[in-house]
Amino acid sequence: MTLEEAKEILSVYRDDLPLDELPEVSLALTMPETNDALQEWFKEEQKFDQEISAAFSEIEVPKDLAARVLAEAPTDTEDQKPTESKIVPFPTRRLWIAAAAAVVLTAAGLVNYFAFPPPVQFPGTEFSSVSKFRNDMAFYANSRFVLAHMTEDFAEARDWLRDHQAPSYEETPGAIVSYEGMGCQTFPWGEHQVSLICFRNGNDDIVHLFVANKDAFKELMPASELQALQVERKLETGGWITEDKVYLFVGSDSDVKIGSLLASISGV
């Protein structure tokens, strides 16, 4: 090996080179041992490499780059996988990115509107009328809302409501226990808190069960009047009163009947 050949190798030597695959590197490495000038030259080369590497690591990276990359990443490769021809030159891409961002923001706003609808408001401070409760709960059942806690287990729904200081049942009422739970929710009704438990009846129809504390009402209508089925806002409603709670079933559309469900409640 000539001196020039050794220098060509040594000038780019790094200790991760696979020496077993490159015997000429091992040979070149022995030459500085007997040549002081070459050894000094080799040290300078290594020093040069370290300084250039250090300069590279000083190239400033935009702080928000990772976040931008992650924000741009497609979430569904099957739907959004681009073909080669769809990847446009990067100077032009910025316009596409801006346009895409506008579309995404608009879509996100729509998704947000439908996925997280604004809460239904019941203004006022005093609710003494059970008939108003009936009407308001039918209104709520007709509105868009999301369940705060999803569960098929009525006992779990009860515990969740208790944890949120919301009115609930001690034991799952009547025939509900044999049905499939969906989840629960609690929301303010004036100054009081009302609970909602959703489930599917034997016909796979969604039924709402609203629960309010009895002290939310200044004057209670006779129990028989609440038990009588009544259509409010096109939804069948009917309920019962216990020692400290008022319960109300509300169907999810005009075809949902709650008569047999109500009849399964003990004492009704």
Partner 1 sequence: MGNPAEFERIVNDFYQDLYRFAYSLAKNQADATDLTQQTFYRFATKGDTIRDKSKTKSWLFRTLKNDFLSQARRSQKFQHIPLEDAGPELPDEQSEDPSRSVDSHLVVEALQKVDETYRIALSLFYMKGLSYKEIAHTLEIPIGTVMSRLSRGKAQLKSALSAVA
Q: How many whole angstroms separate alpha carbon 84 and alpha carbon 34?
A: 55
| Binding of residue 104 to partner 1 (CB under 8 A) | no
Distances 194 to 147, 165, 177, 228 between C-alpha atoms, Å: 13, 10, 21, 21
Of 80 and 128, CB closest to partner 1 = 80
- Contact flag: residue 36 with partner 1 (CB under 8 A): no
Q: Does 98 bind partner 1 (CB under 8 A)?
A: no
User: Near partner 1 by CB under 8 A, which window of 55-63, 171-179, 193-201, 205-213?
Assistant: 55-63
78 backbone dihedrals φ, ψ, rounded to 5°: -65, -40
User: Residues with Cβ < 8 Å from 5, sequence gap 6 or more?
Assistant: 24, 28
**Is residue 48 at the binding interface for partner 1, with CB under 8 A as the rule?**
yes
Binding flag, residue 41, partner 1 (CB under 8 A): yes
Consecutive H or E run containing 117? none
Binding mask 68-87 for partner 1 (x = CB under 8 A): xxx-xxxx-x--xxx----x
Rounded-to-integer distance, Cα 197 and Cα 1, Å? 86
Cross-sheet strand order for the sheet of 206-213 = 149-150, 180-189, 192-200, 206-213, 245-251, 235-241, 230-232
Under rule CB under 8 A, residue 29 binds partner 1 = no
187 forms part of the interface with partner 1 (CB under 8 A)? no
* Pairwise CA distance, residues 101 & 80, whole Å: 15
Q: Examine residue 11 and tell whether it contacts partner 1 (CB under 8 A).
A: yes
- Residue 146 CB, nearest distance to partner 1 (Å)? 23
Minimum Å gap between C-beta 67 and partner 1 is 9
Tell which one of 23, 34, 59, 118 touches partner 1 (CB under 8 A).
59
Torsion angle of the four alpha carbons 132, 154, 149, 147, in this order, in degrees rounded to the nearest 10: -40
Which residues would be at the binding site for partner 1 (CB under 8 A)?
4, 7-9, 11-12, 14, 16-18, 21-22, 37, 41, 44-45, 47-49, 51-53, 55-62, 65-66, 68-70, 72-75, 77, 80-82, 87, 89-91, 93-94
